[in-house]
Amino acid sequence: MTDQDPGLDFSMVIASTVHDMKNSLASLIQAHGEWVKRLPEAHRGTTGQGVIDYEFAHLNGMLVQLLGLYKLGVNQLPLRPDYHELDDFIEAQLAFHQEVLNSRGIAARYEVEDFGLPVFFDRELIGSVVSNVVINAIRYARQEVLISAGQVGEQLVISINDDGPGFPEHMIEHQTDYVLGINQSSGSTGLGLYFAANIARQHQRQGVKGHIEIGNGGALGGGVFRMYLP
């Protein structure tokens, strides 16, 4: 390596590797799904199958998140907002995770209020946030997950609620410090909340930026994630 050779851009190497890993994982998920279809009915829906389905979805979500964080860091994350039907959007999210929900024995439902605000957001970016939060909710839920959407003031609020033990108090108390370091007991880093907060902030109207909140309680009594979009 010479003085004129700056060497590898390690962040770009990581991003390229993550992209390749995501493609490989997609092929693996597809092949696994075809293999499962050929199994006798008695061999489907086992506990092991539930673990595999969940971890596939979890890995895919983490890779999507890592790519998004890289693009955020280099200002290459495009925002393409458009008008959307909330019912269709949420139904698509639940359908994407239906196999995982079934294998874990978790019932998922949604509620959408009838309100007058136009629903205007980037479907891919908001979808990636909702998908990651749903996967996290599935991890901790006992029996049920609820996605709801409605109006608070002049903002659209999308909420994901589960009936699990809820968020740890220290996360709620320090929820604006999204990157908390690795929690040795749970493996959580806070990067998911950091990613979600940045995606929410990309959405703004008349100087008001989107934001997120986490808490406990809600309709199901467990953890509640809320995303506010102006």
**pLDDT tens for residues 71-109?**
888 888 889 999 998 999 999 999 989 988 988 889 999
- Rg for the chain (alpha carbons), in Å? 19
Burial label for 45, CB within 10 Å (0-12, 13-18, 19+), is middle
Say yes or no to pLDDT of 1 above 60.
no
Place of tokens 């100087």: 207
Beta-strand pair 82-83/120-121? antiparallel
Say yes or no to pLDDT of 183 above 60.
no
pLDDT of residue 170: 84
pLDDT of residue 3: 52
pLDDT of residue 116: 61
Tell me the pTM: 0.83
**Cα Dmax for the chain:** 64
pLDDT of residue 162: 97
Strand (E) or helix (H) holding 134: helix 123-140
- Rounded Cα distance between 147 and 156, Å, is 13
Treating both helix axes as pointing N-terminal to C-terminal, what angle do 47-73 and 10-37 enclose, rounded to 10 degrees? 150
- Rounded Cα distance between 167 and 109, Å, is 21
